[in-house]
Structure 1
Amino acid sequence: MIMLLNDKTLPQRIRRESLDDLDEALELEWQDLYDLDGLPTGTLDDFETRLARQRYFRELFRLQGELVKLQSWVVKSGHKVVILFEGRDAAGKGGVIKRITQRLNPRVCRVAALPAPNDREQTQWYFQRYVSHLPAAGEIVLFDRSWYNRAGVERVMGFCSDEQYEEFFRSVPEFERMLARSGIQLIKYWFSISDDEQHLRFLSRIHDPLKQWKLSPMDLESRRRWEAYTKAKEIMLERTHIPEARWWVVQADDKKRARLNCIHHLLGQIPYEDIEHPAVQLPARQRNADYVRIPTPREMLVPEVY
């Protein structure tokens, strides 16, 4: 962190972080409005930066096309998939989840991002509130954080007792093997970022009014307890890495590479294949000679400010 504070390139690095955020906002629009070989120029740093961004978009769109094929196969085969995304705050979990779900049917692929348990949930079996979010046949569920909260934030922040912590490690392998026996494929990703990179991303959020909401008091406290989180992560990976549900670590200091690498790896974990679909033909609209459309009352119209 001291090196980062003394880094004279820090303004440029924060600017690159802002460019990454701009890319996130423009991904859909750029594909729809521009040919990737003719992206608008004049606002980017240099030619190499433009090429790198073009390569990223081109590969992202290709991988998202494969995700659409995967979705069709999951529906056709009745496969059930659960994907867990864990990692430090600002590690990029939400970014890759957004890219995975961006072009998929939300009825097939949905995200479970559970809030802190309420008073009633705190008295339940620990895994109970997660079970209702598990997939039925032909569904994919992405957990943006999961039952591994107990091994991470709850342990570090003192939200669970030593007995509850140890019981979690006794139970979680049995729970995940039970999911596997029921036909659910469980894939677990840990997004790994360096101390300096997390510090940079937190600074970027502090200086961006559109992203300040992402920084909660818990996030700031987690920053202070970096080493405690590191120790908790190492114990978690060691004690819950089982053949039925192994961990995969994504190097995430470069957000764009992390997204591409994670999606590429995910596609390789599921034995999907192309599904042939019948050609879609638009039916002719029925027209009735006696139908007269009723004009919309002016007071119901949204003002056309733009």
Structure 2
Amino acid sequence: MSDVDTKKSILSQRLEDEAIDSFDEELEMELDDGRLDQLLSGDDQPETEGQLDRKTYFRELFRLQGELVKLQDWVAHNKLKVVVLFEGRDAAGKGGVIKRITQRLNPRVCRIAALPAPNDRERTQWYFQRYISHLPAGGEIVLFDRSWYNRAGVERVMGFCGEDEVEEFFRSVPEFERMLVRSGTILIKYWFSITDREQHLRFHMRNIDPLKQWKLSPMDLESRQRWEDYTKAKEEMLERTHIPEAPWWIVDAVDKKRARLNCIAHFLTQIPYDEIGRSQVHLPERIYKPDYQRKPVPDELYVPGKY
């Protein structure tokens, strides 16, 4: 097989894998363990070499999500404050992991903070100020889809801040994070690591998928040209902000499904928790009042039954 044919074969397989992954994302919210075997019993889709078996992935994901519900209840019951930072290059899979963590949790307990670029007013504030309002109160988990580490990464590489501001950030961030930990906040930091080749393939996939083209921004394209600059920035960031109170954890994210499971499994080990017993709920009987008559609803108020 020629190099061109090999590349076409690899791309074809990746497109197929990506389509299956998008399909699986929908299944994750509809399936439970009892229906998993029945649905996938006729699934003869060959697995890509080295990738995780789909049945194993589903079973482990459901099991881990069940543990996340227990952790959520423990955090709420004990009024813990939990912050999890998700950092990494564009298309590294941060959003996919965050989505799987929050899928079955109470949004009042576990929420996502994904801040846009700072506005003119925020640019004049203390750098950490706009992040503080998103920090959790007791009984909450906040997942930062990118965080204050923007300054050490995209802002630095793209020239949105000066080197003096970067240096001030490196001086301040360890103390800022130690202060959070001293105040009782549990701070966990993840860096999602992918290869140059894998990022290129994921960008290409986004470019040809109409449902994902919105994910591909001009900034993403620029980051491809500055791969080595991002690498140098990442290496210095990890070196200067890896502190005992809030260490970095690196997730090998080349395989999306393994990355999701590995990250969630590790997150669960970072907070000792037990299952909170729930009292059995007894549904009350419906009360019928003989003088009550339901008023008719006009047909024009109903959404048309198109399907």
User: Are the structure 2 counterparts of residues 243 and 30 from structure 1 closer, same or farther at C-alpha, using a change threshold of 3 Å?
Assistant: same
> Paired residue for 2:124?
123
AA partner of residue 39 (structure 2): L
AA partner of residue 215 (structure 2): K
Per the TM alignment, residue 5 of structure 1 is displaced from its structure 2 partner at its CA by: 10
TM-score (norm. length: structure 1): 0.95
User: Are the structure 2 counterparts of residues 196 and 149 from structure 1 closer, same or farther at C-alpha, using a change threshold of 3 Å?
Assistant: same
The separation in 2 between residues aligned to 1:151 and 1:89, in whole angstroms, is 15
> Paired residue for 2:89?
88
Per the TM alignment, residue 31 of structure 1 is displaced from its structure 2 partner at its CA by: 2.9
Q: Which segment is superposed worse, 36-45 or 91-100?
A: 36-45
The separation in 2 between residues aligned to 1:40 and 1:57, in whole angstroms, is 10
> Paired residue for 1:253?
254
Structure 2 unaligned spans of 5+: none
Counterpart secondary structure, 1:95? helix
> Paired residue for 1:45?
45
> Paired residue for 1:175?
176
> Paired residue for 2:166?
165
> Paired residue for 2:156?
155
Per the TM alignment, residue 214 of structure 1 is displaced from its structure 2 partner at its CA by: 0.3
Counterpart secondary structure, 2:53? helix
The separation in 2 between residues aligned to 1:263 and 1:93, in whole angstroms, is 12
The separation in 2 between residues aligned to 1:294 and 1:209, in whole angstroms, is 46
TM-score (norm. length: structure 2): 0.94
Counterpart secondary structure, 2:236? helix
Counterpart secondary structure, 1:85? strand
Q: Is the 8 A contact 2:181 2:245 kept in 1?
A: yes
Counterpart secondary structure, 2:281? coil
Per the TM alignment, residue 51 of structure 1 is displaced from its structure 2 partner at its CA by: 8.6
Q: Count residues with an aligned counterpart.
A: 303
- Structure 1 residues 113-148: Cα deviation after superposition (integer angstroms, max 9, x where no partner): 000000000000000000000000000000000000
User: Are the structure 2 counterparts of residues 51 and 200 from structure 1 closer, same or farther at C-alpha, using a change threshold of 3 Å?
Assistant: closer
Per the TM alignment, residue 26 of structure 1 is displaced from its structure 2 partner at its CA by: 2.0
Q: Which segment is superposed worse, 234-243 or 17-26?
A: 17-26
Determine whether 1:199 maps to 2:200. Answer: yes
The separation in 2 between residues aligned to 1:53 and 1:47, in whole angstroms, is 8
Mapping for residues 278-293 of structure 1, pairs under 5 Å: 278-293=279-294
Per the TM alignment, residue 295 of structure 1 is displaced from its structure 2 partner at its CA by: 1.3
The separation in 2 between residues aligned to 1:205 and 1:217, in whole angstroms, is 13
Structure 1 unaligned spans of 5+: none
Counterpart secondary structure, 1:294? coil
Per the TM alignment, residue 166 of structure 1 is displaced from its structure 2 partner at its CA by: 0.3
Counterpart secondary structure, 1:176? helix
User: Are the structure 2 counterparts of residues 109 and 4 from structure 1 closer, same or farther at C-alpha, using a change threshold of 3 Å?
Assistant: farther
The separation in 1 between residues aligned to 2:21 and 2:169, in whole angstroms, is 37
Mapping for residues 103-118 of structure 1, pairs under 5 Å: 103-118=104-119
Counterpart secondary structure, 1:190? strand
- Structure 1 residues 194-242: Cα deviation after superposition (integer angstroms, max 9, x where no partner): 1111111111101100000000111111111111111100000000000
> Paired residue for 2:23?
22
RMSD of aligned alpha carbons: 2.0
The separation in 1 between residues aligned to 2:55 and 2:126, in whole angstroms, is 48
> Paired residue for 1:236?
237
Mapping for residues 127-146 of structure 1, pairs under 5 Å: 127-146=128-147
Q: Is the 8 A contact 1:4 1:196 kept in 2?
A: no
**Paired-residue identity, %:** 71
> Paired residue for 2:7?
7
